[in-house]
Structure 1
Amino acid sequence: MRQLKAEFYKMRHTFLFPLHVIVPVAAGVLFLAWTRISAQLQFSVFVQAVGVVFPVLASVICAGNIELELSGHLQGFLMTTGKRESIFLAKWMSLEILAFLAVMGSVILYGVGNRTILGDMEIPFSIFLKAGVFLWLGSLPLYLEHLFLNLCFSKTVSIAVSIGQLLISALFLTGLGQGKWQYFPCSWSSRGTSLYLAEKFNRRVALGAANTDLRDILTCILLGTVLCVIIFIWFHFYEGREVSE
């Protein structure tokens, strides 16, 4: 808990806190305005857009966080009297807490605006909340991957990978993602949440007659667990890298 508190202190005077406020508010307001103007935009499109850009946002946020450590040549990050993995866990948790607040804030803003401004009472508010949770759960491996990429390589590599993940995430929203999306963590937020909404709204045909069963969920959990274990084992032996880009 002390390390988690220290992570928030480090980020206090950076762009990371304002970014987690500005982006959710801007996304909610923009899509509400678009819905009001076009009268065609649906909540599922909002969820898909957020899920698709999540890899790039995760890359930028992780890069900004790791820059705080690179400014001290990783000495404060690696010098600890306790278990080294706890430092990495605290960093990951601090970013995920901010991500959770940002995602839920954006979804709640859209849900409230959808009811009060647009007068759409058909969607239960619980669906907005559950969709936000699913979006956030899909970000868990993304943040871990981009923390690894920024620590092992550089922010340039991380951003390049995130652009590829964005394209895969967008592509897998079509029928091409059927049977494949669960093996690509970058598509879990967009595709997984879209499938949840498709089940609720009986629109599975829009995603290539997609259906989600227990095996898909177990595959995601197993793959995510293996990914976490591998990266934490790697960090146990991590000795830093050259700080120049």
Structure 2
Amino acid sequence: MSILNAVHSEIIKSKHILFYISHIVIALLGTLLFISYFVMYSNNSDLSRIKLMFEILLVVFPFLISVMVGLNISQEEKASHFQILLSSSKRYKMVLSKLIVLCSCGNIALIALCVFWTAGIIMFNAINKYPLIMIALILVGTFLTSIVVYTFHMFLNLKLGIGVSLFFGIFESIQAIMYSNIEIKGIYKYIIPFAWQIDWLKDVMNGTISQHVTQWLIIGALSLVLIGMFFIWFQYWEGRKYYE
């Protein structure tokens, strides 16, 4: 089975759960919330409102990821106790297709939210100057840094179940609130994946990406290592023991 076929199969399987509807509803609710915020607080500066909007999005993102990954993985658990995944001769393609669909749907929903929000604030004349490049950079960084978070929650759901994944999703969101108000220093800025998105937002908003190129290169390399470790682990995973 090719990767494309595996992705197509995953897209069809996800139709049977609230996966796509959940993304659409969340994107629409977020759009209405942020358009209302920009209209009601139009006297505030554009950058301060944009910063607050993306901080809120990045705070809830880890929890939403845990929910969406949980919905997807629990489908495999209920259907066959993961036997379809485990019996595949090239199981890495199966889990890679899941990661592609999860990341794509989550970030397409985020882009759709931003597109509809942009249309709304322009229609209501609720912004003076629209910073297109800045928002594009934020979205690109959010997508790239979210891949590790999706991978982490896939591991938690496969190994320990949806309950543990949801717990960590809540914990990560609470931590993200803290990191949005403080500066992470030292080695911690490299080893806390769910804080990378907040750091990226700060660098984009402050125009300091060029000053932290080394940091982002290290984070990029570390992301590849962590994702690679997950795929290696999955190749040898034998399922949860209590299903034997």
TM-score, normalised to structure 2, is 0.88
Q: Mean alpha-carbon deviation: is it higher for 121-130 or for 94-103?
A: 121-130
Is the counterpart of residue 153 in structure 1 residue 152 in structure 2?
Answer: no
Shift in Å at residue 50 of structure 1?
0.8
- 1:68-93 Cα deviation digits (max 9, x unpaired): 10012111122223x22111111100
User: How many residues were matched structurally?
Assistant: 234
Q: Mean alpha-carbon deviation: is it higher for 174-183 or for 186-195?
A: 174-183
Distance 2:185 2:34 in 1: 27
- 1:116-142 Cα deviation digits (max 9, x unpaired): 213424123233233222222221111
Matched AA of 1:216: Q
| Kept after mapping to 2: 8 A contact 1:56/1:163 | yes
Aligned to 1:164: 171
- 1:19-46 Cα deviation digits (max 9, x unpaired): 1111112112101102211333611111
| Kept after mapping to 1: 8 A contact 2:38/2:127 | no
Higher RCO by CA contacts (8 Å cutoff, separation 6 or greater): 2
Pairs within 5 Å for 1:17-96: 17-39=20-42, 40=44, 42-71=49-78, 72-81=80-89, 83-96=90-103
Distance 2:140 2:121 in 1: 18
Distance 2:169 2:134 in 1: 28
Distance 2:191 2:130 in 1: 30
Q: Find 1:196's aligned residue among 195, 204, 222.
A: 204
The alignment partner of 1:89 has SS state of: helix
Q: Mean alpha-carbon deviation: is it higher for 107-116 or for 136-145?
A: 107-116
- 1:177-227 Cα deviation digits (max 9, x unpaired): 24443431101223312321222xxxx8xxxxx985111101211221111
Distance 2:26 2:203 in 1: 24
Is the counterpart of residue 124 in structure 1 residue 127 in structure 2?
Answer: no
| Kept after mapping to 2: 8 A contact 1:103/1:136 | no
Any gaps of 5 or more consecutive residues in structure 1? 205-209
Q: Which has the higher helix share?
A: 2
Distance 1:231 1:110 in 2: 36
| Kept after mapping to 2: 8 A contact 1:70/1:243 | no
How much identity, in percent, do the aligned residues show?
Answer: 23
Cα RMSD, aligned residues only: 2.0
Aligned to 1:2: 5
Aligned to 1:99: 106
The alignment partner of 1:103 has SS state of: helix
The alignment partner of 1:122 has SS state of: coil
The alignment partner of 1:213 has SS state of: helix
